[in-house]
């Protein structure tokens, strides 16, 4: 008999998942634990990708044979607590050919321990009007429905297929929330105001519409991420004056971006980033290796010091790490790892590596500050990350 046909195995799998979450850094409230115990994840992820050979992704279904003969490996993967990739470059796993596809993941079912941490921070309560940005598989939506009631949940996604399939799977699980096809950057005004807002895709700053559509006292949980690896999760509360304020959570996060071809905070297309394509305007050495940007504990801090539209690409050439930074005004820097640090080639009028160097020295001087030491405020005059040092010095960065 297949595991999927064994009710006791289904229950045991959910119990193990909750125990796995609770054994980590997440302290589960009874409401969140009860939701995970009662919502089956496999209903929302019947097909997902497994990575094979670098950027090759092969669809994996419950009825695919494996060494156990009953789909046991697939089942273990679903309830392992890992993130499950459900879309690659716009190709949904259920539509992929058996040999798979190559590309970059564009949608996934978030790792349950991270979901639990964010849901706990959201503090959903029965009857709380809740907006979810990024329906995805619908699993997180179902958890919200279980806690606040399906009639209080609005969830939006920009992909018709995701919206249709999530709606069907939610109905199968016994929930009928308002599942809307829309640009999540604009929220969903018809059902506002909301008491809770949670996003499952990252943004460089909190979209104005999200704050406006929340009621005073509402809680917002939003993944923030720019071009570097160090994503963060902001916990905010809507204030009576219409602004929102809070702090960053301790958990690093690398959610996929919300519609990456759009600057959601400004509502306009992001500018193209020119290639260098010509001889460097100057070169110099640096004691700082480009590999520091792979360290999530630092790259989060480094991001605060960069132009908002800076992009970063990196390669490994002959065993050397090479990072390239570019800005829309035509400036670029290629930073090549050396035995003693790096060689920096500058293109355009600014040295783009210099802010990273200054940020690194400040980060060390501040004793490598943790994410949860930073506060965030968002209002009509801008969004700012702030840090109060023990010596009384206050630091402010604009998102």
pLDDT in tens, 279-305: 888 999 999 999 999 998 899 999 999
Task: Dump pLDDT digits (tens) for 235-248.
Answer: 999 999 999 999 99
Confidence check: pLDDT of 278 > 80? no
96, 57 in Cβ contact below 8 A? yes
Query: What pLDDT, on a 0 to 100 scale, did the predictor assign at position 377?
Result: 97
Q: CA-to-CA distance for 284 and 361, rounded, in angstroms?
A: 18
Q: CA-to-CA distance for 196 and 173, rounded, in angstroms?
A: 22
Residues forming a β-bridge with 347:
332
Q: CA-to-CA distance for 101 and 104, rounded, in angstroms?
A: 10
Confidence check: pLDDT of 265 > 70? no
Residues 111, 116, 117: CA angle, nearest 5 degrees: 100
Label each residue of the chain as H, E or C.
CCHHHCHHHHHHHHHHHHHHHHCCCCCCCHHHHHHHHHCCHHHCCCEEEEEECCCEEEEEECCCCCCCCCCHHHHHHHCCCCCEEEEECCEEHHHCCCCCEECCEEEEECCHHHHHHHHHHHCCCCCCCEEEECCCCCHHHHHHHHHHCHHHEEEEECCHHHHHHHHHHHHHCCCCCEEEECCHHHCCHHHCCEEEEEECCEECCCCHHHHHCEEEEEEEEEEECCCCCCCEEEEEEECCCCCEEEEECCCCCCCCECCCCEECCCCEECCCCCCCCCCCCEEEEECCCHHHHHCHHHHHHHHCCCCCCCEEEEEEECCEEEEEEECCCCCEEEEEEECCEEEEEEECCCCCCHHHHHHHHHHHHCCCCCHHHCEEEEECCEEEEEEECCCCCEEEEEC
Structure tokens at 224: 């923030």
Only one residue has tokens 């709380």, namely 128
Task: Dump pLDDT digits (tens) for 184-235.
Answer: 999 999 999 999 999 999 999 999 999 999 999 999 999 999 888 778 999 9
This prediction has a pTM of 0.89
């Amino acid at each position: 008999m297949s595991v999927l046909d064994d009710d006791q195995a289904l229950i045991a799998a959910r119990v193990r998942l909750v125990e796995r979450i609770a054994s980590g850094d997440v302290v589960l409230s009874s409401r969140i634990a009860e939701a995970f115990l009662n919502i089956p994840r496999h209903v929302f992820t019947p097909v997902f990708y497994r990575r094979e050979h670098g950027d090759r992704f092969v669809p994996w279904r419950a009825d695919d044979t494996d060494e156990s003969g009953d789909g046991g490996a697939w089942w273990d993967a679903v309830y392992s607590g890992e993130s499950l990739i459900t879309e690659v470059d716009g190709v949904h796993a259920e539509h992929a050919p058996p040999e798979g596809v190559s590309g970059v993941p564009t949608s996934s079912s978030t790792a349950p321990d991270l979901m639990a941490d964010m849901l706990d921070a959201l503090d959903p309560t029965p009857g709380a009007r809740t907006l979810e940005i990024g329906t995805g598989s619908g699993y997180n939506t179902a958890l919200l429905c279980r806690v606040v009631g399906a009639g209080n949940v609005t969830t939006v996604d920009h992909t018709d297929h995701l919206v249709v399939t999530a709606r069907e799977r939610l109905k199968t699980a016994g929930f009928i929330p308002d599942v809307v096809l829309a640009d999540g950057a604009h929220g969903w005004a018809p059902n506002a105001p909301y008491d809770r807002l949670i996003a499952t895709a990252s943004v460089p700053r909190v979209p104005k519409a999200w704050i406006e559509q929340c009621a005073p006292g509402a809680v917002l949980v939003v993944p923030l991420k720019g071009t570097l690896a160090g994503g963060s999760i902001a916990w905010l509360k809507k204030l009576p004056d219409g602004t929102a304020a809070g702090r960053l959570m301790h958990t690093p996060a690398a959610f996929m971006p919300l519609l990456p071809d759009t600057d959601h905070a400004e509502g306009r297309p992001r500018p193209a980033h020119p290639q260098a394509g010509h001889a460097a305007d100057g070169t110099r050495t640096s004691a700082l290796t480009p590999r520091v940007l792979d360290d999530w504990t630092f790259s989060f801090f480094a991001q605060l010091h960069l132009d908002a539209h800076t992009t970063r690409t990196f390669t490994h050439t002959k065993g050397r790490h090479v990072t390239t930074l570019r800005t829309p005004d035509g400036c670029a820097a290629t930073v090549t790892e050396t035995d003693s640090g790096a060689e920096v080639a500058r293109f355009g009028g600014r040295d783009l590596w210099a802010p990273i160097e200054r940020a690194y020295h400040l980060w060390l001087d501040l004793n490598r500050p943790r994410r949860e030491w930073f506060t965030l405020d968002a209002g009509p005059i801008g969004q700012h990350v702030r840090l109060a040092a023990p010596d009384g010095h206050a630091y402010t960065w604009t998102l």
